[in-house]
Chain A
Amino acid sequence: MKKFRLLVTVLLLLAVLLGACTTQEPAPAVEEPGAEEPAMEETKEPFRVAVVMPSSINDLAFSQSMYDALLTIQSEMGGEEAMEIVYSDGMFVVDDAAAAIRDYASEGYNLVIAHGSQYGSSLQEIAPDFPETSFAWGTTVDTFGIDNIFAYEAASDQGGYVNGVLAASLSKTGILGVVGPIETGDAKLYVDGFVAGAKATDPTVQVNVNYIGSFSDVALAAEAANTHIAAGADVLTGTAQMVVGAIGVAEESGALWFGTQASQTELAPSIVVANQVYRWDVVLNEIMDLIGEGTFGGTSFVIDLANGGEVLEFNPDFDIPADVAALAEETIAEISGGAVGLQAPKFEDVFQVAVVMPSSINDLAFSQSMYDALVSVQEWMGGEGAMEFVYSDGMFVVDDAAAAIRDYAAEGFDLVIAHGSQYGSSLQEIAPDFPETSFAWGTTVDTFGIGNIFAYEAASHEGGYVNGVIAASLSETGVLGVVGPIETGDAKLYVDGFVAGALATNPDIQVNVNYIGSFSDVALASEAASTHVAAGADGLTGTAQMVVGAIGVAEESGAMWFGTQASQSGLAPANVVANQVYHWDVVLKEVVQMIADGTYGGTSFVIDLANGGEVMDFNADYELPAEVKSLALDTIKGIVDGSITIVFGE
């Protein structure tokens, strides 16, 4: 009931404000646009700005950040006589927004802002028809190469990182909850930054992320927040305008909240700790200067902590412990100074990546882990305008893969990734023929001593060990089953780690291991799992893409499942206990940085629990007993700080 009341209050508030603002909006002026000369030359004419926004100007989020920026500039310039602002807010229908953008342009506004990445393709059509009008849009860095379009973006991962550092420091339960809209653009960047900051502060912290699929569904955002609370989260954050629903839940349950885009302190002064506030006026000032000089577009801008376009605003009513505040300040200083390696290098042209993978990009395993990482790196570099990637998946035939690798290299891709150890010998032949192309392959640490090959590997035994510890603690029958593909590489490492973790926890445990001889035979994987169950196993794990067949058996027989490579929780929410998730983006970011610095290979990388390239993802739907959970967290800590040495058995 309380939630409903809050919802109604928020909606009423929005409605009232919306009504009030609409009346403020000046009636469309009757003018002859053709007769008007460029406004900047006549000092008496105000600078006229029109903006189209997807949500309300007082959404306490994305749209408000732009509206506030315009008001700031207006007052700096000397009020309404110097600068005129009109806006169309709540333009969540792209076609309506496109019509409004065209109208504003034809009415002779000096600057028309399309504040939403969804307006991009409309703008691309409209802008060339109005060469005398300047357009700006975001969040993106892509001006389409059109010289009357500016682009702007927020390095939202930076404030996200700081929020994550604070959240991990303040959480008592060690569980953080994130409510996101759709896993893309600004939102994803913020969320990834938050997760990275939290994990960097405390590798054992659990960050549960929930993308609700909507920018406006306040009720669903509230429910997502409730879910996080039920899963034990005591700190929440979220991005986009629908999070007002989540803030209410946070307040009700006494959880802490971290805001982004605009200051959300006033919504819940007792629980908001800090907000990353966007100051688009930093960008708008530059844009208006350029327009004054006669440049109508062609440049893109990024706001970040260093240039003051992003500001970490702490809630003065919330008492942050001195050491935590100091840590936050330190982190901000480090990011602004470029010490935290978050800032993506800039390339002159679009950075092009091609990847060849043995299975499908949504195999819930090895290939998917790389695909997800590329999506994440693309966001990090600034979207499709800065980085493009193509992939060939399902390349289980090595000769086909080799042909694809050669083709990509010949087509001039900057980085060609051969994601599979079976591609090694092909790569060894191909790479020397393309000295200007950088290659990466894994999982291995072997660069063949070739100067344009990077190698990457996962310390998969670490997460395997943690999974083994949990499995041995939870098993009632004292029997565990492992379904592996072929006894080599990443798979063997994971399996050995699992066995070691289980035996370290319970020396009497029996771990039956089964390699089925195939990476893709789901039917055999399923039978292997049935065999384990028949042999008494009540906890199963497995690695590589064919294990989706085994997870079904775990579900059917009520056995626990432990995942690796990607999160498999969604396949059997009642049975999956935990997953070791690979974050290859940790490696790829370093690779991109090295290429930017002119090094095309020769280095190998390992992802592990310490560097955040491997993350233990506990299934929020699985109720893990508190003592087992803390044992698991202690194990992670021990592996990270080196106090636990993983000893493989005979």
Chain B
Amino acid sequence: MISDLLSMTVLVGILASGIRLATPYLYAAIGETFGQRSGVLNLGVDGQMLMGAFTAFYVAIKTGNLWLGILSAMVAGALMGLAMAFVTVNLHAEQGISGIGFYLFGLGLSDLLFQKLLGTVETVKGFPKIQIPFLSDIPVVGEIFFRQNVLVYIAFALVPVAWFILNKTTLGLKIRAVGENPEAADSLGVSVARIRYFTIILGGTLSGVAGASMSIALVNVFQQNMTSGLGFIAVALVYFGAWRPWGVLAGALLFSLVNSLQLWIQVLGIPIPSDIAVMMPYILTILVLVATVSRVRAPSALTKPFERGD
């Protein structure tokens, strides 16, 4: 039975599943990375994702236009981000608590809108799988990487883009400066408030897309609390990835691949209790986190409100 795991069907299945499962994590965790690098911990990701998931689903089902769905999910997420930015940057609210508040707000509001506007679970024709010409014909590799829907490709493309912005642009430098030493950045004329507004709204926007990637690309339904805490995993993945986009990618893939591995373990009838199997991704993530956490340091100003001294 264990040897079944090594068959080509199973390996391809695990990898293709893992890549799909990683998609919403990538959007949400990359967005969260920007926020945390600028010193803001946003625990409202899951709520932003739910709002994005519902908005995209509703707009897509009403207009039939999936891209309009994505756009409205971005707007919904951005608005949630805007509110979060106002509360944490201007009002100096405790970030953890207000993030939880926004999570509950998104959870409740998305459900309310779902009940009032749709009323029942429906399906929508989501983004189709795109077969990249030539590449998708490569045996094994093609099936795993090049027969996915467009939001999967964008999610993975986002990783180098985020790395480039954070490490190779002035904007990235400002973001990192604000997250490490806001006083110094401020004294050099960088507006801490403006940078944090930017990163939190960007994070909200990407969380909105993360939700949309579930509701109109991967699962193609909306249901109350459909993210089921996935946004919190995304926040954990930022720590896991040591606040670097490539690290986040590694974490998202590890978590997702182990998750799809455990699905196959059960399907193949390998005698491991299902409760243990479903714990595997979490256990492994914790182990890796413990092993690696000592070597990196969080942004110094993370969770600290910035008040401009006079």
Does A226 have its Cβ within 8 Å of any Cβ on chain B? no
What B residues does A548 contact at CB under 8 A?
A: 121, 219, 221, 223
Residues of B bordering A, CB below 8 Å: 9-10, 12-13, 16-17, 20-21, 24, 107, 111, 114-115, 119-123, 214, 218-221, 223-228, 230, 259-260, 263-264, 266-269, 273-275, 277-279
Q: Can you list 29 A-B contacts with CB-CB less than 8 angstroms, sorted by A residue number?
A: A359-B225, A361-B115, A362-B115, A362-B121, A484-B274, A512-B267, A515-B275, A515-B277, A515-B278, A517-B279, A520-B225, A521-B230, A522-B221, A523-B21, A523-B226, A523-B227, A527-B17, A531-B260, A531-B263, A531-B264, A534-B10, A535-B13, A548-B121, A549-B226, A551-B123, A552-B123, A552-B219, A552-B221, A571-B121
Does A572 have its Cβ within 8 Å of any Cβ on chain B? yes
- Asked whether B218 lies within 8 Å of A523 as measured between CB atoms, the reply is yes
- Asked whether B214 lies within 8 Å of A396 as measured between CB atoms, the reply is no
Chain A: CB-nearest residue to B256: A527
Q: Indicate whether A527 sits within 8 Å of B120 (C-beta atoms), given known contacts A517-B274, A548-B221.
A: no
Does A555 have its Cβ within 8 Å of any Cβ on chain B? yes
- Min CB distance A110 to B, Å, is 44
* CB-based closest 6 A-B pairs: A517-B278, A360-B224, A515-B274, A520-B228, A534-B13, A512-B267
What B residues does A359 contact at CB under 8 A?
A: 223-225
Listed residue (A361, A364, A393, A523) with the most chain B CB atoms within 10 angstroms of its CB: A523
**How many angstroms from the CA of A555 to the CA of B226 in the assembled complex?**
19
What A residues does B230 contact at CB under 8 A?
A: 521, 523
**How many angstroms from the CA of A362 to the CA of B119 in the assembled complex?**
7
Task: For A512, give its contact among B115, B223, B269, B274 (CB under 8 Å).
Answer: B269
**How many angstroms from the CA of A549 to the CA of B13 in the assembled complex?**
18
- Asked whether B263 lies within 8 Å of A527 as measured between CB atoms, the reply is yes
Q: Indicate whether A522 sits within 8 Å of B226 (C-beta atoms), given known contacts A517-B275, A527-B21, A552-B220.
A: yes
What A residues does B122 contact at CB under 8 A?
A: 570-571
- Min CB distance B175 to A, Å, is 30
Q: Indicate whether A522 sits within 8 Å of B214 (C-beta atoms), given known contacts A363-B121, A486-B275, A552-B221.
A: yes
What B residues does A571 contact at CB under 8 A?
A: 121-123, 221
What B residues does A524 contact at CB under 8 A?
A: 21, 259, 263
- Sorting the interface of chain A by its residue count into under 10, 10 to 19, 20 to 34 or 35 or more gives 35 or more
- Asked whether B214 lies within 8 Å of A527 as measured between CB atoms, the reply is no
**How many angstroms from the CA of A572 to the CA of B10 in the assembled complex?**
27
- Min CB distance B74 to A, Å, is 20
Contacts A360-B223, A555-B123 known; 11 new A-B pairs at CB < 8 A: A360-B114, A362-B121, A363-B224, A514-B266, A515-B277, A520-B225, A521-B230, A522-B223, A523-B21, A546-B223, A549-B223
**How many angstroms from the CA of A361 to the CA of B111 in the assembled complex?**
10
**How many angstroms from the CA of A516 to the CA of B263 in the assembled complex?**
7
Does A603 have its Cβ within 8 Å of any Cβ on chain B? no
Q: Interface code A73-110, partner B: CB below 8 Å = 1, 0 otherwise?
A: 00000000000000000000000000000000000000
- Min CB distance A554 to B, Å, is 11
- Min CB distance A19 to B, Å, is 41
What A residues does B263 contact at CB under 8 A?
A: 514, 516, 524, 527-528, 531
What A residues does B228 contact at CB under 8 A?
A: 518, 520-522, 546
**How many angstroms from the CA of A344 to the CA of B227 in the assembled complex?**
42
Chain A: CB-nearest residue to B24: A523
**How many angstroms from the CA of A304 to the CA of B278 in the assembled complex?**
56
What A residues does B24 contact at CB under 8 A?
A: 523
- Asked whether A394 lies within 8 Å of B111 as measured between CB atoms, the reply is yes
**How many angstroms from the CA of A133 to the CA of B209 in the assembled complex?**
62
Chain B: CB-nearest residue to A527: B17
Residues of A bordering B, CB below 8 Å: 359-364, 393-394, 396, 481, 484, 486-487, 512-518, 520-524, 526-528, 530-532, 534-535, 545-546, 548-549, 551-552, 555, 570-572
- Min CB distance A480 to B, Å, is 11
**How many angstroms from the CA of A520 to the CA of B119 in the assembled complex?**
18
- Asked whether B221 lies within 8 Å of A360 as measured between CB atoms, the reply is no
- Asked whether B219 lies within 8 Å of A526 as measured between CB atoms, the reply is yes
**How many angstroms from the CA of A359 to the CA of B115 in the assembled complex?**
12
What B residues does A531 contact at CB under 8 A?
A: 13, 17, 260, 263-264, 267
Listed residue (B123, B259, B263) with the most chain A CB atoms within 10 angstroms of its CB: B263
**How many angstroms from the CA of A512 to the CA of B87 in the assembled complex?**
49
**How many angstroms from the CA of A481 to the CA of B13 in the assembled complex?**
15
**How many angstroms from the CA of A532 to the CA of B225 in the assembled complex?**
24
Q: Indicate whether A364 sits within 8 Å of B120 (C-beta atoms), given known contacts A512-B267, A514-B267, A521-B228.
A: yes
- Min CB distance A459 to B, Å, is 23
Q: Indicate whether A364 sits within 8 Å of B121 (C-beta atoms), given known contacts A522-B219, A524-B21.
A: yes
Listed residue (A513, A548, A571) with the most chain B CB atoms within 10 angstroms of its CB: A548
Q: Indicate whether A513 sits within 8 Å of B266 (C-beta atoms), given known contacts A524-B259, A526-B218.
A: yes
What B residues does A484 contact at CB under 8 A?
A: 274
What A residues does B273 contact at CB under 8 A?
A: 487
- Min CB distance B56 to A, Å, is 14
**How many angstroms from the CA of A521 to the CA of B107 in the assembled complex?**
14
What A residues does B123 contact at CB under 8 A?
A: 551-552, 555, 571-572
**How many angstroms from the CA of A512 to the CA of B264 in the assembled complex?**
10
- Min CB distance A391 to B, Å, is 11
Chain A: CB-nearest residue to B25: A523
- Min CB distance B160 to A, Å, is 24
**How many angstroms from the CA of A631 to the CA of B13 in the assembled complex?**
35
Chain B: CB-nearest residue to A529: B263
- Min CB distance A479 to B, Å, is 10
